[in-house]
Structures are given as C-alpha cells and as structure tokens.
Chains A and B, each alone.
Chain A
Amino acid sequence: MLEQKMVATRESYGNALVELGKEHDNLIVLDADLAAATKTGIFKKEFPDRHIDCGIAEANLAGIAAGMSTCGFVPFMSTFAMFAAGRAFEQVRNAIGYPHLNVKIGATHAGISVGEDGATHQCNEDIALMREIPGMVVINPCDDVEARAAVKAAYEYVGPVYMRFGRLALPIINDSSDYKFEIGKGVELRKGKDLTIIATGLAVSESLKAAEMLKEKGVDAQVINIHTIKPIDKDIIIAAAKATGRIYTVEEHSVIGGLGSAVMEVLSENCPTKVTRIGIKDVYGESGPAKELLHKYGLDAEGIANTILQ
C-alpha cells in the first residue's frame, strides 16, 4: 500500500496565501515573529513587500490589520491560536468584529496537537472565543485540501473570518476531483444508521477511522464534517439527529463552547437528542508528542471508538 500523503494545515495556509497572492494585489500578510511556524514565511519569500512582520505584539497586529482593511487591503493576520484568539481577543472583538472589517485571522498551532510546547501554547478555547463575536465566521478545516479551499473562500467572503490551523501533519481525505468548499455547509463523509459522529478539524480523519473500528463491533456510524463552526449548518445536524437519534461530537478543543456546544445549541432548540461531547474535558494540556497526547486525551480513533462503545 502506498503511504498516505500527510500535510499540516498550517502548511496549507502558507501555500494557499501564495496562490491567492498571485491573483490579488490587495492581499497582505501580517505576522508576529512566527512566520517560520505559521508558514507565512512561504508567502514572504514570494512577496516580501506584502509581508509585514509586526514583531511580538499581537494586540498591535490586530489593530494594524483593522486599519489596513479600511484602506482596501485584505489583511491575513497570522499568529498562534493562543495569541490571535486569546491575547488579542478584545482587539479582534472591538477593532475587527464590531466594525465588521474585512480581516482574515489565520490562527495556527491550535489545540493539544501543538505537542511538546505544552499547555501555555495549546489553545483549546479559541473556537468558543471566536464564535461569541457577532458576525465572525469560524472555520476549522480537516485536511490540506479543505484548508486551502477555506483560505480562498475566506478571501472571497467580505467580513471577518477566523481560520484554525494545526501543526500536526494530517492525512488528506478530501481528494476527490469534485470536491467543493462552501462556508457554512457541513459534509456527510460516511453514511451510517446507528449513530452520528459530528467532527471538526483534526478530529475528522480520526473519526472516520473510529467509524471503521465501530463497524467491526457491529456499529454503523454516520460521520459528518463540520468545517464551519459559525455559521453552523443546522440542517445537516438536525437531519442527522432525526435519522440516527444519537449524536457524538468530536473536536480538538474544550468541550465547553466549541463544536459540541454549538451542536447542542442547535439540537436542544430544534430536535432534542442525546449528545455526547468528545474533546478536552475542561483541563489544560501538557508537553508530549502530538500523537501521544491525542491518545492520552481520547482524541485518536481508538479513544473516540472507545468512548462511543462505552
């Protein structure tokens, strides 16, 4: 068997910026001394004049992005999720969200898969923070194809967009020739009648593997990919709840405020259904190789399957 191609979505972000940068002169990339890590360095190499390093000053980064967007640029402000959504939350809320400015936030190194750097850099709260901001689009792509499509869609959308990317290389699952990305549209990746796994980001490919494990135990699981947490695809969630009657959400994010909460909000108002949230259980992460951490925190395929079988 050929080895599956693996790409980290932060890499997809850098590559997509270069592609878009070739087509659009008004695309500007801002970074905060992390160009090598966020992969905006790829863009910098190609377009040095359109890459602005703001230094280690994320509040200022967000404000500069806001100011440039009022002058016709489409700034992609880039840093780690911890600093984009966490450190600069109020700047993003007041200087970008409130005036609904056309700023794109490329947040890399989200979740515990940051790995060895440990808890201070593992942002498990960004989806919750960003989806609180009125008018903010929140996208969490699951592989290279989806991440590159998301960056393009974010450019085309007029208004603020938060994009969540990871450090860990992920398998490519959206490799069909007719792949389409639409903001706010969930995707059914696997049919199933016993229960539904709704996953986002890194958890999508692990959920697909978990579904295969469940099949061996005689459980037929539907898998839905929610790449856009906000605006969320209510229809696909309600239809799944009606069809299988049992929902599991999986995310590399706190179980408080993220995908799980968003799904429960939709269902409790429209189609009350039992939901189990699989994610980071209101704790901080720790240092360790990403895959070991995903295993320890029950977010790899085995952990997901075990939770569902319990």
Chain B
Amino acid sequence: MNKSELEKMAVEVRKGIVASTHSAKSGHPGGSLSAADIFTYLYFEELNVDPKNPKKEDRDRFVLSKGHTAPGYYAALAHRGFFPVEDLLKLRHTGEYLQGHPDMKHTPGVDMSSGSLGQGLSVAVGMALSAKLKNMSYRTYCLCGDGEIQEGQIWEAAMFAGHRKLDNLLVIVDNNNLQIDGTVEEVCSPYPIDEKFKAFNFHVITIDGNDFEDIDSAFKEAKSVKGKPTVIIANTMKGKGISFMEGQVGWHGKAPNDEEYRIAMEELQKAGEALC
C-alpha cells in the first residue's frame, strides 16, 4: 500500500477501535489509537501473513505484548481478512471469541495469547530463536508499551535477544508517554529508552510513530540490520485521531459513551473523506 492508502486504512482501524470499545462498554482505546498506524503498517505492508492460512509455518510472527490494546490489533486483523469486520462489535461479549486481551486459541491470526504486561517480548524472542535454529527466514515482531517496559522481564528478554544477536527480531515501543497513573516520566521513568536498548546490543531507531513515512523508513532500515535485534521507539499520541481523547490519560481504559461514540465516528468519517 502507498502512504495515502495506509492513511485511509488507519482511519478504518481507528473506527474499529471506537466501535468495538463502544460496543463492549469497556476496553482500551487510548493505546489502541496511538498504535493504530503501526498496526495498520504491520498488517497492510510489512507482515508476511495469509488470512486464508493463518498458521502457515513460514509466516512472520507478531506478538502484541501490550495486549490491552487488542481493539487496535483486532481491527487490523479484521480489515486484513482474518475474520469479519462486523465481529469487532462482539469484543468482550460473553461467549464470543474476541477476548479483552488476545487469545491465540480462539482468534484467527493471533500468534500468542498476551495481556499480562512484560511477557510478550520473551515469547517473541522464543519465536525468533526458533527461526534461527530451524534456519527459517520469517521475522518476529513485538509491540510493547512505554509503560510496559517498566516490567523487569522486558529487560531479561532484551538481554537475551541482544546476547543471541537476534537480527530477525523487531521490537516496537509505543511511546505515547501515558500510563494509568500519569505520564511515564512521573510514574517511574523508563527514559532514556534508546540508551537502555543500545546497552542491550540493540540497533535503535526513533521515529514519529503516527507518520507513515517515518514508519516505512524505520521498518525498512530494521530489515537491513544484521547481527543485532532492532527496536523502533515510536513516539506517538495516546488517543490519536479523536480530538477529545488525544493526550488524555483518562482514555487509557475507558469506552466512549453513545454521544462520545457519535462524535468520534464523525471525526473519523471526516478524516477519511479528507484523505480522498
């Protein structure tokens, strides 16, 4: 997809986030929206995956370590054809397959169950290591939150990935600078994130994670790096794309009510039309 097509698709992904969390009356729109452009790029440009054969052995792997942003993940998967877009409205409903956090057992396209913060990167490392041992060329991608990297296990995994020179692993940190209790700086600063990953033998790229040109060049650069894993520090805006959610910590884990849903969808509709 070209930049314009990606931007349009990102609007659709954002609509899916707003609609699914509104339908669920719960969920995490803020961090889903900040990462919506990354989800879109992954599923419409980057990943070698096949919705008709979601388990094919040589597919690229993706682990959503910040599993609470499942609404963004599901919206991208649905639009990519892994399951019907209308099913997004079943998010978090009893007996339905779109769980509050990703469930690999029941959701096509989900490579790993996740949600307990800090654990996904280790799993992604296991997948990347498996590719090395099997001499396979698939790549493994892992999306972490900036609050999430306060978890010690992230750094256990980073140490191992750097030590093993897993250049088939790409970590993306969604650096929206907000977590439940405030800014990540105020709560327990992980900064400087770039220096920390560098110290663990990572190649580090810092970008505007809501800009497709930046995203595109960073993902391409990551592919060319040999002998070490890469991390993209994606500086993003929590709640990106919805005026009243942008930069607001209150929208971390709150669903829009009917009125907020209406306004948000109108804004997205206009944003989509402006791109045409």
Q: Spell out A's residues near B (CB within 8 Å).
A: 28, 49-50, 52, 54-55, 57, 59-60, 62-73, 75, 90-91, 94-95, 98-100
Starting from the known contacts A59-B118, A64-B123, A67-B122, 15 additional A-B residue pairs (CB-CB under 8 Å) come to A60-B157, A60-B160, A62-B122, A63-B126, A66-B123, A67-B123, A67-B128, A67-B129, A68-B126, A68-B129, A70-B112, A71-B134, A73-B133, A94-B119, A99-B104
Decide: A90 near B122, CB < 8 A? Known: A55-B159, A68-B129, A71-B127.
Answer: no
Closest A residue to B128 by CB, please name it: A67
Please tell me if the beta carbons of A63 and B125 are within 8 angstroms of each other in the complex. Answer: yes
Please tell me if the beta carbons of B156 and A59 are within 8 angstroms of each other in the complex. Answer: yes
* Top 6 A-B residue pairs of the complex, sorted by shortest distance between their CB atoms: A67-B126, A63-B122, A71-B130, A60-B156, A57-B156, A64-B126
Indicate which residue in A28, A50, A64 contacts B160 across the interface (CB closer than 8 Å).
A64
* Complex: A18 Cα to B103 Cα, angstroms: 34
**A72 contact set on B, CB distance < 8 A:** 57, 130, 134
Please tell me if the beta carbons of B130 and A67 are within 8 angstroms of each other in the complex. Answer: yes
Please tell me if the beta carbons of B116 and A68 are within 8 angstroms of each other in the complex. Answer: no
6 contacts between A and B (CB under 8 A): A63-B123, A64-B129, A67-B122, A67-B130, A94-B119, A99-B103
* Complex: A59 Cα to B125 Cα, angstroms: 13
* Complex: A100 Cα to B122 Cα, angstroms: 17
Indicate which residue in B120, B124, B128, B129 contacts A52 across the interface (CB closer than 8 Å).
B129
Please tell me if the beta carbons of B127 and A67 are within 8 angstroms of each other in the complex. Answer: yes
In the complex, whether B153 has a CB less than 8 A from a CB of chain A is yes
In the complex, whether B121 has a CB less than 8 A from a CB of chain A is yes
Decide: A71 near B131, CB < 8 A? Known: A55-B160, A64-B160, A95-B122.
Answer: yes
Determine the main DSSP class of B at the interface with A. Answer: helix
In the complex, whether B152 has a CB less than 8 A from a CB of chain A is yes
* Complex: A62 Cα to B112 Cα, angstroms: 14
**A55 contact set on B, CB distance < 8 A:** 156, 159-160, 163
Max chain B Cβ within 10 angstroms of own Cβ: one of A59, A64, A69: A64
Closest A residue to B113 by CB, please name it: A99
Please tell me if the beta carbons of B104 and A67 are within 8 angstroms of each other in the complex. Answer: no
Max chain A Cβ within 10 angstroms of own Cβ: one of B123, B130, B153, B160: B123
In the complex, whether B174 has a CB less than 8 A from a CB of chain A is no
Closest A residue to B121 by CB, please name it: A63
In the complex, whether B250 has a CB less than 8 A from a CB of chain A is no
Closest B residue to A62 by CB, please name it: B122
**A70 contact set on B, CB distance < 8 A:** 61, 104, 111-112, 123, 126-127
Please tell me if the beta carbons of B126 and A66 are within 8 angstroms of each other in the complex. Answer: yes
* Complex: A60 Cα to B120 Cα, angstroms: 10
Please tell me if the beta carbons of A60 and B104 are within 8 angstroms of each other in the complex. Answer: no
Decide: A91 near B119, CB < 8 A? Known: A72-B57, A100-B105.
Answer: yes
**A50 contact set on B, CB distance < 8 A:** 133
Closest B residue to A99 by CB, please name it: B113
In the complex, whether B115 has a CB less than 8 A from a CB of chain A is yes
**A100 contact set on B, CB distance < 8 A:** 105
* Complex: A64 Cα to B127 Cα, angstroms: 8
Closest A residue to B138 by CB, please name it: A71
Indicate which residue in B104, B133, B153 contacts A63 across the interface (CB closer than 8 Å).
B153
Please tell me if the beta carbons of B119 and A54 are within 8 angstroms of each other in the complex. Answer: no
Decide: A99 near B105, CB < 8 A? Known: A67-B123, A68-B126, A90-B116.
Answer: yes
Please tell me if the beta carbons of B133 and A49 are within 8 angstroms of each other in the complex. Answer: yes
Map CB proximity to A onto B160-182 as digits: 1 under 8 Å, 0 otherwise: 10010000000000000000000
* Complex: A69 Cα to B122 Cα, angstroms: 12
* Complex: A95 Cα to B115 Cα, angstroms: 9
Closest A residue to B154 by CB, please name it: A60
Map CB proximity to A onto B105-117 as digits: 1 under 8 Å, 0 otherwise: 1000001110110
* Complex: A120 Cα to B105 Cα, angstroms: 37
**A91 contact set on B, CB distance < 8 A:** 119, 122, 153
Map CB proximity to A onto B132-156 as digits: 1 under 8 Å, 0 otherwise: 0110000000000000000011001
**B113 contact set on A, CB distance < 8 A:** 94-95, 98-99
Please tell me if the beta carbons of B125 and A67 are within 8 angstroms of each other in the complex. Answer: yes
- Tell me the minimal C-beta distance from B22 to chain A in angstroms: 27
**B118 contact set on A, CB distance < 8 A:** 59
Closest A residue to B152 by CB, please name it: A59
**B126 contact set on A, CB distance < 8 A:** 63-71, 75
**A57 contact set on B, CB distance < 8 A:** 153, 156, 159-160
* Complex: A83 Cα to B4 Cα, angstroms: 50
**B123 contact set on A, CB distance < 8 A:** 63-64, 66-67, 70, 95
**B57 contact set on A, CB distance < 8 A:** 72
Decide: A63 near B130, CB < 8 A? Known: A94-B113, A95-B119.
Answer: no
Max chain A Cβ within 10 angstroms of own Cβ: one of B105, B126, B156: B126
**B131 contact set on A, CB distance < 8 A:** 71
**B105 contact set on A, CB distance < 8 A:** 99-100
Please tell me if the beta carbons of B130 and A73 are within 8 angstroms of each other in the complex. Answer: yes
Please tell me if the beta carbons of B116 and A60 are within 8 angstroms of each other in the complex. Answer: no
* Complex: A94 Cα to B121 Cα, angstroms: 14
* Complex: A65 Cα to B160 Cα, angstroms: 13
**B115 contact set on A, CB distance < 8 A:** 94
Closest B residue to A59 by CB, please name it: B153
- Tell me the minimal C-beta distance from B139 to chain A in angstroms: 13
Please tell me if the beta carbons of A68 and B127 are within 8 angstroms of each other in the complex. Answer: yes
